[in-house]
Structures are given as structure tokens and as C-alpha cells.
Amino acid sequence: MILQLTGKTRLNTSELDKILTFKSHTNHAREKFNKAFRAQYSIVCRNSSLSIDNKVLIYLAYLRPILAYASPIWECTSNSNLTQIQALENKTLRMIGNARWYHRNEEIRTALKIPSLTKFIRKLSDKFDADLLKVLNASIAKIPIYDPTDPCNRKRPRYSLTL
């Protein structure tokens, strides 16, 4: 199956644009996250009587998967798109941890024991790439083996979020 990209193309709930910048997909993910966050605001907000552990669990189980949906595909997006998604994550974690403006985002993540979104996406991508080798589909078997150390592959997706 060859996918013709003209303008914006929807594939499941992911949006692909003609030049694969993933801007429309990240905007859609941000809108979905904001909608879900507003629905959970009363139990995640700073003044909630819910424990921090339960707030973190709500974030990890319900909110973060919205941000990371289809991330092995769009991990090669531009830094500006990734920064917008990270801002949503930082805002949410700051609210969950009841952190003030002078606390660094990395300190908040360390205190809550949550890896950054880029590390999480990298982990998902590595798992996706490893599972892709086990697929018995003939079309996928024709794809050449990927070598991230090859300089020709420096702009390929698996090279993009090296940490």
C-alpha cells in the first residue's frame, strides 16, 4: 500500500502532512491533551486533596499516553514542536508536584521520579524498532537493516532523539 500525501492526511488518529513536519499531529495531540487535562483538573490541581502519588498515576496512565501517541513515528519532529509538547508536560508536573516558579523542571521530574518526555519517547521508539524486526510481514522484511552509526542516516528518525 502506497500512501499519497496531499495536504493533510489522517491515518488512524495521527495526522501526516505533505512534508512530514508533524506540526498538525502535534497540534492535535496538544488539543486532545488540553481537553483531557481540563476534564481531570479538579483532581490534579494544586489544591486537590488527592495524594501526589495518585496524581502522578493519573498523569502516567491517562495524560502522558495522549502526548506520546504514535511517538515512534513523529520522533523526528522539529525542536519547536517537541518544545510545545514538553511545555504541556512541564505545566502538568508543576501542578501535580505543587512546585513554585523557582523550581527547575528537572528537579520536579526527579522529585516525582518521572523521566522526561524525550527519554520516554526514546524508550518507546527503541521498543518499537526492536519489535519491528520480529514482524513476519513480507513488505516489512524488505526494509534494509538500519544502522544509526552510518553518517547517511543522521536525519533518520531513530537518530533524532539520541540522548
Over the chain (163 residues), the average pLDDT of each successive run of 10 is 54 58 83 94 91 94 90 78 91 94 94 92 85 81 72 60 50
- pTM > 0.85: no
Residue (of 87, 88, 112) closest to 99 by Cα position: 112
> How do strand 8-11 and strand 14-17 relate by DSSP bridges?
antiparallel
Q: What is the model's pLDDT at position 140?
A: 76
Q: What is the model's pLDDT at position 39?
A: 94
